[in-house]
A and B are shown apart, each in its own frame.
Chain A
Amino acid sequence: MSTPRTTTAPNPKIIIGVVVGALVLAAIAVFATADGGDDDVSSGDPDAPLEYGVVTASGTALPGLPDSGDDPAVGTLAPSIVSERVDGQTRLEPGPGGEPTMVVFLAHWCPHCQAEVPRLVELDQAGVFDDIRVVNVLTATTPERDNYPPSAWLDREGMPGDRLFDDAESTVASNYGLSGLPFLVFLDADGQVVQRVSGEQPAGVIEDAVDAITG
């Protein structure tokens, strides 16, 4: 029978020395950073008003966008949304007699949304959105995360369109079946879903979708 291999006995002096060294380093770090301010990159402006809306949704919620295959939401009427804030309200009320609409779901902290917005701004400057309404839904808003507040971000970028603030529970996003960010929903003049896409999109895809809802 073999004897299990064992490790050599520990040296208490070394263990105590390392622990004391770690505690001293930690203490120095605590004192050194005591007045160092908040270096947290994910923090936003703590004094900014929370950018949520009080959301009222009506109509039938759209199913989630599947990863592949046909989108079951195509051809169905999109739900109506009213988002109220102290400074007013934004209404998204798809229905007959309306106008073609591109609904853009964005999160301020999402790097793919940050990459998509300049592309949308370029398309707007090229006149692609002249004949449609653009509604930017600011969703998944989290003050503790990077690039907060989202309205200041869109101001900086010069993003066109109305702004609709989602609530903390992402009610608007869940009503439109959001699966990833950014998320674009194209509605025709009757308020029916023509196309939904998730993730960054090349300009050509967006132009084709706009043609489809205005054509």
Chain B
Amino acid sequence: MSPETPSRIADVLGVLAIAGALGAAVIVAGSVVPWLRRRVVDPLAGSATTLALGVAVVATSGSLWFSEAAGFPPCELCWYQRIAMYPLVAVLAVAVWRRERSSLIIAQVLAGAGLVVNAWHLFIETFPDSSGGSCDPTNPCTLRWVEGLDFWTIPRLATVCFVLVLVLTAIDRRHSQGAPT
């Protein structure tokens, strides 16, 4: 593998993250702008969980690639976010297969927990002095292994993934049918 490969992969993921962030912003805006809701958000109903599954698959694959192929060991906070992200693949796969609203709630709890940890990771990555007065000599959480498009670090990519899973599953939860569980 070329030494530039991780950076190139981060660039590609950065482009997808920009698209994902824009998509998430449109969906959130659609909750208050009726025109956007009718034209963009409502048509996603029923398909949003499948798209969330795709996001989780890409995030999990990317995470495994960075650690196992590129050789970037996950830091402590990365591990906590993995605990939230990896099961989303199975939970969302079940949600797509069974089309059950209860699976979406589990997915949202996982994504929400991951996003909380991710927020702290982003903070100490941006302000490394806030993580205390010393560095972990082996694998500090403040370290930026890659920066795709000069911006997209691995935690920033994860932010977009967690937010996308949250907003996409929210669409299908709102459009679920049948008796409440």
Contact = CB atoms under 8 A, between A and B. Distances in A.
A22 interface: yes
Contacts of A32: 11
A40 B147 contact: yes
Given A10-B50, A30-B12, A181 B19 contact: no
Contact of A181 (B10, B11, B134, B145): B134
Contacts, number: 163
Interface in A1-18: 2-11, 14-15, 18
A7 B140 contact: no
A7 B49 CA distance: 9
B146 A40 contact: yes
Contacts of A11: 43, 46-47
A28 interface: yes
Contacts of B96: 10
B44 A14 contact: yes
Interface in A112-145: 112-113, 115, 139-140, 144-145
Interface string A152-185: 0000000000000000001001000011111100
B144 A6 contact: no
A21 B148 CA distance: 20
Given A28-B15, A40-B147, A110-B135, A8 B177 contact: yes
Q: Is the interface of A mostly helix, strand, loop or mixed?
A: loop
Contacts of A34: 8
Contacts of B47: 10-11, 14-15, 18
Nearest to A13: B47
Interface residues of B, number: 57
Interface in A26-43: 26, 28-30, 32-34, 36-43
A7 B43 contact: no
Interface string B40-53: 00011111011100
A9 B7 contact: no
B7 A38 contact: yes
Contact of B134 (A7, A18, A25, A180): A180
Given A41-B147, A180-B135, A5 B12 contact: no
Interface residues of A, number: 56
B156 interface: no
A108 B67 CA distance: 22
Given A26-B12, A38-B7, A6 B137 contact: no
A129 to B, nearest CB: 21
Contact of B95 (A7, A25, A39): A7
18 contacts: A2-B179, A4-B102, A4-B179, A5-B178, A6-B177, A8-B45, A8-B176, A10-B46, A11-B43, A15-B47, A21-B19, A26-B16, A29-B14, A40-B10, A42-B143, A42-B147, A107-B137, A179-B137
Given A15-B51, A18-B51, A38-B4, 15 more contacts: A5-B100, A5-B180, A7-B46, A7-B100, A10-B49, A19-B54, A21-B19, A22-B19, A22-B54, A26-B15, A29-B14, A36-B11, A41-B150, A42-B145, A170-B137
The 8 A-B pairs with the shortest beta carbon distances in the complex, nearest first, are A199-B134, A180-B134, A199-B133, A8-B46, A110-B135, A29-B15, A40-B7, A5-B101
Interface of B: 3-4, 6-8, 10-12, 14-16, 19, 43-47, 49-51, 54, 95-96, 98-102, 104, 128-129, 132-138, 140, 142-150, 172-173, 175-181
